[in-house]
Structure 1
């Protein structure tokens, strides 16, 4: 997108800005400052990436020293320009709607006509003349009578003054074509010229303006996404004649939003050609440096776009990115709603409202009691509540002490994930075994944050978890707005008290949430994805906190927890308080060899028959998709009276088959690790074939084993590791499960 670069210049400084609708900027500056300011247009319009690079160069100290001083007429602070009158010689005054607000930069509260804006070409048609840079700088009205550069006795000084622009802009990041730099011209617009043409245009529909700002709060959207948001939010009147640009520009001038481009760029030196400066780009939406260059109409050169988040919309260096500043959260004191009257030491009566965090509530029982948690769940929620209370916004010492985790690449744009001065945002890990009831454990945390007027996001890698959580949270928090965000969802542009989203959807937020709960941090695609980690950190508001949920945390987090650098709590027992099933090893040949022979080994067949005879449904996991169908055929030949199905990530009917398995229509389900999480069946045994495969790491084996024994009606399900070798991953999974059982027994969580 192309924008207008301009400076609001006075006798002391040149303030450089970008504009989507110059009529709004003229009105903003001239109605506030009158003849005390001059608008200097840099023409022609350029792409937003080039505009920001130009502004960065023109704002540098070396350029500022070479800009000539300006002598302008001064007015007292209470100055208000005269009202515009109809002029037969200037028809624009009669046709343009006029808004007169002579405030000091605050948004207008006028309720006048909402049809405010002239066509975008109106500004340029009124100011048709254009001066070159040197002619412009030699104008007496710009340089002032005491520093007339036209009569400077030194040619070197004159060259230094008039030739700085091309020299300074040859090393821009992102680069700007040389021919464009050489064609740049300046045009000076003063108050009298603006007043003569009557371009007093500013958004004055405050209701519409406030709705727009509210919809953009905490968002980070491309311009085309903003248009879809306006359409979905019933603000279609802003879509007419480009009116939305004027409202966006007014919000930018008022400080309610930030306008930037899609890619962050900087000039660096790289080995081995360290003597050459190279431009490095990173996406401001996902933090990735994975880019592809293509010719671009707006830039007039090869322009990079981000490949990592391409499915969310194309982000280029010249792409407009609109960030809504986070809305101030609700008043914590009002949210608690109790008042205490005390007499202070000076004898004066002071009314002090109490917040939950200012009152010592033993064990946070007010948040724990309503949910009927088990002893282990209660202990974990209590620890997490203590963390949230100790790291609440404004409680910086605790926040810094509890800080854990590292900043992702591109931290300049992900700084929303920081708390305090440069510290990583505080994080808390709930390490709970599979089937422990992690969802129920976060209910007290959600209640606590909502009671303090804060916004919460629950991020999960998988869409099916989003759909599963929505009805449960709706029932638990009746009266609260709960929004679900996932690819193809119907609430993409809505906001609520609680947002349940897939991790990819967090890319559309910036500094939006006071707490982000990330479920299954060890699962694909979040695991090892710098882009999704960046998105999660960017979505967190300054002073916000993370709560991480996992049954199998990554090694790095386990080490941080063990060393005391990451606050955490372990939940070693399931909600029914029975021990976890410990896997048993079944030595058998590899699955490929079994399939070639066409017969199951007796040891494995005996185990399968035993599970079927006790009435259990069977999960049979294999490491590769191509092994699913052959194994289904082999098993169907052995048990023709049983319903046997196979599924994988490439199966379009996967959801139907999973539903049939949950509904006890299917007796045996052969699958890959695609179903290692999220599927709960009351009476299930688990068989993992080729358990020695390198595709099955320790975490995957623990997750697959966790499908058994999840129901209180069948807590002692069976798990078998079948394969020719007993690998490190298998031994590690068994060791982890046994350790959790010992911990649960030692803490008294297991039933006698």
Structure 2
């Protein structure tokens, strides 16, 4: 987009060229504009509350707002909206102000219709959130703060285990102060319930809270639970395709990718599944979380399988940590059983299933129990589901990250409309279904790391009424990850005294 600089009310200001009818003024791309002071706040201006609630604590593109350019410009001229550079050029290359990307290979140039440049640079790293380019200003709110309700009562009558109680207390103590805390809790320990009291305290102090997680499925799992226990609070879920992204919310449950859109918004940041892909591998996602918090904030990490770095920091007391080695119902974690499956890749290519897997499959179908069958890739998933449907006469379906019906299929699985659900590792976290067994087809594949297998095993036995679900690892040779995952689970059970 091209802007012009001009004098307005005896001050040098800027405006989109489409709003200025003066051909003598030179229009230039946004990044070429001279530095101008932010217009002072006009207290008599009647600002749009809808724009306030959408922009508050965020930095967005013009294209992400349903307001016209002249409406946004009017708020800018009255000091309520700020324009800032999206892509900066330095001596070392480009920097994206939204995601923090500095890698030259993740920038590109294009012939831009808006700024008329043949080499307008843009960031490829966060392009899935909308294109940020040199001529694209980021828009943020600098007017009055959004006011939150002061009564946010927790409606939950459950009881916490001793481990949960300790973790909850530590979290509550941190609310209102600066710091960080790791809650290292086994799958099924009841991490969500541990958060309730701390969130309640934060909301009633007028603080803003975010629960950020790498997976959309986890957002879909958490949002209804939190809305139910905080019925009087402003709660919204943010993810790709969410209809609540413009909803005013004091408590936000979001994917980590959506953090790119926030800036100094949250006093309390809870990063769930902090070890999960892609958050654990993507430094720009971690950077976006650091930008999304206020200068004074409390950071809480949740994980069943923290990284070696985090474990070391906790052991050296550089990172405060509370460990919950026991599930809320007090029963042991199901220990996976390794089952020889032979050369499963070659058998799939020949259109056959390994004998041991076929035997389990038929028994599982006859039992009436639901099962999640994890596979290493979409290609394996597509071949396997065809063969399974030929062998059993029960509802079978599959899901993966690019499946447009992923949300609907998970709901069907919960509602027992699907008995056998094949999935990639996309569902290794965040999905809680009672009366469930788990199988990993080709568990020796590299994609099944120790943490992935621990998380997968954690899908089973989560209900106190069905705490001993089965976990089977079908393989063609025991991998180190399989052995480490089993030892990990056994050690947690031992630590819990089980």
TM-score between both structures, scaled by the size of structure 2: 0.86
Confirm or deny that 1:578 pairs with 2:331: yes
Unmatched runs of 5 consecutive residues or more in structure 1: 11-15, 25-41, 60-103, 110-205, 231-238, 269-279, 337-365, 393-398, 400-425
Confirm or deny that 1:684 pairs with 2:436: yes
Structure 1 residue 319 displacement after superposition = 1.0
Which residue of structure 2 aligns with residue 628 of structure 1?
Answer: 381
Which residue of structure 2 aligns with residue 107 of structure 1?
Answer: 42
CA–CA separation in structure 2 for the residues paired with 1:2 and 1:649: 38
The residue matched to 1:286 in structure 2 has which SS?
coil
Confirm or deny that 1:666 pairs with 2:418: yes
Structure 1 residue 440 displacement after superposition = 1.3
Verify the 8 A CA contact 2:88 2:96 in the aligned structure 1: yes
Unmatched runs of 5 consecutive residues or more in structure 2: none
CA–CA separation in structure 2 for the residues paired with 1:547 and 1:604: 41
Which residue of structure 1 aligns with residue 2 of structure 2?
Answer: 2
Residues 17 and 431 (structure 1 numbering): CA distance in 2 closer, same or farther, change over 3 Å? farther
Which residue of structure 2 aligns with residue 207 of structure 1?
Answer: 46
| CA deviations over 1:124-153 (Å, ceiling 9, x no partner) | xxxxxxxxxxxxxxxxxxxxxxxxxxxxxx
Work out which of the residue numbers 98, 110, 118 in structure 2 matches 1:294.
110
Residues 369 and 461 (structure 1 numbering): CA distance in 2 closer, same or farther, change over 3 Å? closer
Q: How does 1:4-403 map to 2 (within 5 A)?
A: 4-5=4-5, 18-20=13-15, 44-51=26-33, 54-55=34-35, 107-109=42-44, 206-208=45-47, 212-213=51-52, 215-226=54-65, 228=66, 230=67, 239=68, 242-251=70-79, 256-268=80-92, 280-289=93-102, 290-296=106-112, 298=115, 300=117, 302-325=119-142, 371-389=158-176, 392=177, 399=178
CA–CA separation in structure 2 for the residues paired with 1:309 and 1:317: 14
Which residue of structure 2 aligns with residue 730 of structure 1?
Answer: 482
CA–CA separation in structure 1 for the residues paired with 2:249 and 2:411: 30
Structure 1 residue 369 displacement after superposition = 9.0
CA–CA separation in structure 2 for the residues paired with 1:225 and 1:656: 27
Q: How does 1:604-623 map to 2 (within 5 A)?
A: 604-605=357-358, 607-608=360-361, 611=364, 615-623=368-376
The residue matched to 1:701 in structure 2 has which SS?
helix
Confirm or deny that 1:556 pairs with 2:309: yes
| CA deviations over 1:264-309 (Å, ceiling 9, x no partner) | 22114xxxxxxxxxxx111111112311112345264522011122
| CA deviations over 1:512-558 (Å, ceiling 9, x no partner) | 11112122222333231223222212111110122122222233323
CA–CA separation in structure 1 for the residues paired with 2:412 and 2:337: 28
| CA deviations over 1:664-686 (Å, ceiling 9, x no partner) | 34333333222222333322222
Work out which structure has the larger RCO, using CA pairs closer than 8 Å and 6 or more positions apart in sequence.
2
Which residue of structure 2 aligns with residue 519 of structure 1?
Answer: 272
Structure 1 residue 600 displacement after superposition = 5.3
| CA deviations over 1:425-461 (Å, ceiling 9, x no partner) | x432222211222221111121011121101112222
CA–CA separation in structure 2 for the residues paired with 1:44 and 1:302: 19
Confirm or deny that 1:450 pairs with 2:203: yes
CA–CA separation in structure 2 for the residues paired with 1:460 and 1:322: 25
Verify the 8 A CA contact 1:689 1:721 in the aligned structure 2: yes
Which residue of structure 2 aligns with residue 197 of structure 1?
Answer: none
Structure richer in helix, relative to its length: 1
Verify the 8 A CA contact 2:40 2:78 in the aligned structure 1: no
Structure 1 residue 733 displacement after superposition = 0.6
Confirm or deny that 1:705 pairs with 2:492: no
CA–CA separation in structure 2 for the residues paired with 1:295 and 1:515: 41
Residues 514 and 617 (structure 1 numbering): CA distance in 2 closer, same or farther, change over 3 Å? same
State the structure with more CA Rg. 1
| CA deviations over 1:13-40 (Å, ceiling 9, x no partner) | xxx9542289x9xxxxxxxxxxxxxxxx
Structure 1 residue 578 displacement after superposition = 0.5
Residues 740 and 571 (structure 1 numbering): CA distance in 2 closer, same or farther, change over 3 Å? same
Verify the 8 A CA contact 2:235 2:250 in the aligned structure 1: yes
Residues 19 and 430 (structure 1 numbering): CA distance in 2 closer, same or farther, change over 3 Å? same
Residues 324 and 620 (structure 1 numbering): CA distance in 2 closer, same or farther, change over 3 Å? same
Structure 1 residue 220 displacement after superposition = 0.6
Structure 1 residue 367 displacement after superposition = 8.6
Residues 209 and 739 (structure 1 numbering): CA distance in 2 closer, same or farther, change over 3 Å? same
Which residue of structure 2 aligns with residue 506 of structure 1?
Answer: 259
Which residue of structure 1 aligns with residue 282 of structure 2?
Answer: 529
Q: CA RMSD in A?
A: 3.4
Which residue of structure 2 aligns with residue 70 of structure 1?
Answer: none
Verify the 8 A CA contact 1:329 1:453 in the aligned structure 2: no
CA–CA separation in structure 2 for the residues paired with 1:732 and 1:656: 34
Verify the 8 A CA contact 2:368 2:419 in the aligned structure 1: no
